Every structure is written in C-alpha cells, then in structure tokens.
Amino acid sequence: MKKKGFVFFFVFTIYTFFNGCQSHYKDEDLASQQKDKLLVVTTLFPLYDFAKNITQDKAKVILLLPPGVEAHSFEPKPDDMMKIAKANVFIYTGASMEPWVEKLLKGLDNNKLVIVDASSGVRFLEESFGHDKHHHHHSDENLRDPHIWLDFDNVQKMIDNILFGIVKADEKNKEFYIKNAEVYKKRVMELDDKYKLGLKDCKNRNMFHAGHYAFGYLARRYNIRYVSAYQGFSADEEPKPADVAKMIEDIKKVKADFVFYEEFLSPKVAEVIAKEAGVKLLKISSGHNLTKEQMNNNLSFIQLMEENLHQLKKGLQCQ
C-alpha cells in the first residue's frame, strides 16, 4: 500500500485548521447523531458488519471504505480523518492491513477515543505464496496475511476485540452488547459448520485464484490447496508471467474446470488464464468491501460468505 507521508498529514493539518468549526458531512450531521448513540468508525466491511451486529440501535456505525473501492489501495481523505476525530470508537484490522493508521492516530486530538485493533490475539499466516508451500507463523507484519476474517475462528476473536472496545466506550449497555455478540458468534459458528459440510466431499480440492493472495486462511481451515497468480497480499501486486504460465499448466494437470477471480480487480489476468487453460471463470469475494448494489441491499458478512460457499462448491465440484 502506498503511503502519502508528510504530504498526507500536512493536508490533514491544514484541513483541520480551516474547517474545524464547520460541518464536513453533506449526508449526515455526526454531532447530532451522537447525542444518544455511540459513533463507531470502521475501516473495512467485516468490521463494520461485526460492530453493527453488536451495537444494533445503540450506535451509529460508519464504514470509511466507500462501496466498490478496492481496500488495499484505500487512503483516508480529510473527511475520513475528521470522522475518526469525532468518533467514540475506531476499529481497524491491524497494522498489516492498514499501515496508515498509526501515523493518523498520532495526529488526532481525541483522548476519549477507544481504539480497537481487531487482529489482537489472532493467529496469523506468514507469507506463503505460490505452489504447495506450507504456512508458518511470523512476527514481521509485512509478511503477515491480513485477510484474517476468512478464518471463522479469527472472526470469533475479532468480535471479542470489538466487543471489548465498545463496552469500554459505553459501560452502561454492557449486557446488551455481550448478548448480541454471543448471538452473532453462534451464527458465525453455524456458518463455519456449513463450510465444513459443504466442502467435505469435493471432486477437486484445488482452488486456482487469478488474484492477490487473499484466501490462504480459508484454504487452511478447509483443507484446500490454494494457488494464487499474484505473489503478494496486496491487490497492487502484479502477476509474473512465469507464475501465470505455471498456473495454466497446473490447472490442466489436475483437470480443474474453473478459475476464480475477484470482483474489485480487473479480470484480464483471469480471462487469459481461463482461455489458455480451457476453463470457466467464477467470481468470489475476499470480503474487504461490498459493491454499491450489495450495500444498498444491506448484504451482510454472513450472506457474503454464503455466496462464496456456493461458488466454492461449484468450482471445486463438491457434492
């Protein structure tokens, strides 16, 4: 992910100085909405949906990432930073996913802001790109796979982290939040059971993905061999011709019928691979974000993952 550095925070400082006494939101007055509710700001869609399920009508939950925007290339704008400055709770995925957060928070003047690193206590996967490599732990955040929400055990921990932060900001509604979190965690466990059952008996356990390395957690959890054309966690990565050629050869060797591609990335690489390998394309979501249509239809994280399961069962030829 690209960093704006000095320019980024210089713009923020100037913006804050000249607009601090004005309302910056055309669609909503955040100050008025905070009278009886928490203001919770989240960076990615999974965090947004988790927080909404926990707080329900007790909070206004905002997603910084605009619908249809690829998460890895996102850089917060001055309006986004002002939303965080006004918030009661700020939730992000972790330093591996949002490296810009640390510097941004240092520039905020909000001593009452509860900051939640949703990745706290999560079991990370280390960099493990390519074909038939094993997963390991690693302490270097640059080598950590940030797509932690694609392992539903991690989701349980993320919910607990978010719950802790929300309760810290609003102790009087503690029991309400705890009850909602427990209900939601059970729903996630039920989703996990659907995945285990749905992916138990598959004719082909090779998931070929013509996109950035995003599904390592899912593959590990359900014993799927995962091969990505992109040798990196970020969508900014570019596939190497040798890796694309190797994937095409691999697809032919195991006689797979499909190659997966992501909604927010150009399908050009996937189209080339599918054409050369003689297979069809299947769309899948890494879960960072929703399209405008999905957001307007209030698609939930669980519904999005159920759609993924449907595509996986088709692509891996599961009974």
**Domain edge (last residue) among 193, 213, 246:** 193
Please name the residues in contact with 1: beta carbons below 8 A apart, sequence gap of 6 or more: 72, 73, 99, 100, 234, 236
Instruction: Tally the domains of the chain.
Output: 2
What DSSP assignment string belongs to 85-109? HH-SEEEE--TTT-TTHHHHHHT--
Judge if pTM exceeds 0.75: yes
Do residue 68 and residue 167 come from a single domain? Answer: yes
Whether residue 54 is found in the same domain as residue 142: yes
Same domain, 141 and 267: no
Cα gap 208→131, rounded to integer Å: 10
AA identity, residue 86:
K
Surface-to-core class of residue 292, CB atoms within 10 Å of its CB (0-12 exposed, 13-18 middle, 19+ buried): exposed
143 with 213, same domain: the answer is: no
Rounded Cα gap, residues 160 and 182, in angstroms: 9
Q: Of 147, 169, 193, which one is at a domain's C-terminal end? A: 193
Considering the domain architecture, whether residues 13 and 125 belong to the same structural domain is answered as: yes
Look at residue 142 in the predicted model and tell me its pLDDT: 56
What φ, ψ does residue 38 adopt, rounded to 5°?
-70, 150
Do 183 and 201 lie in one domain? The reply is no
Alpha helices (runs of H) in the chain, residue ranges in sequence order: 5-19, 30-33, 45-55, 78-86, 101-106, 152-169, 174-198, 216-221, 241-254, 268-277, 292-296, 301-315
pLDDT score at 7: 42
Same domain, 87 and 167: yes
pLDDT score at 235: 54
Going from the C-alpha of 74 to that of each of 105, 216, 268, 289, the distances in angstroms are 17, 22, 22, 11
Task: Provide the domain limits for residue 211.
Answer: 197-315
pLDDT at res. 191 = 98
| Beta-bridge mates of residue 144 | 126
Q: 256 and 138 in one domain?
A: no
- Residue 162 shares a structural domain with residue 300: no
**Whether residues 136 and 218 fall in one domain:** no
Give the 3-state secondary structure of 11-30: HHHHHHHHHCCCCCCCCCCH
Using alpha carbons, select from 220, 241, 240 the residue that is nearest to residue 232: 240
Q: Do 49 and 138 fall within a single domain?
A: yes
CA angle in degrees (0–180, nearest 5) for 33-94-27: 25
pLDDT along the chain (319 residues), means of 10: 43 43 41 71 97 98 91 84 94 88 82 93 73 39 83 97 98 98 98 98 95 92 93 69 94 96 86 96 95 94 98 95
Q: Which of 163, 193, 223 is the last residue of a domain?
A: 193
CATH number at residue 274: 3.40.50.1980
State whether 51 and 187 are in the same domain: yes
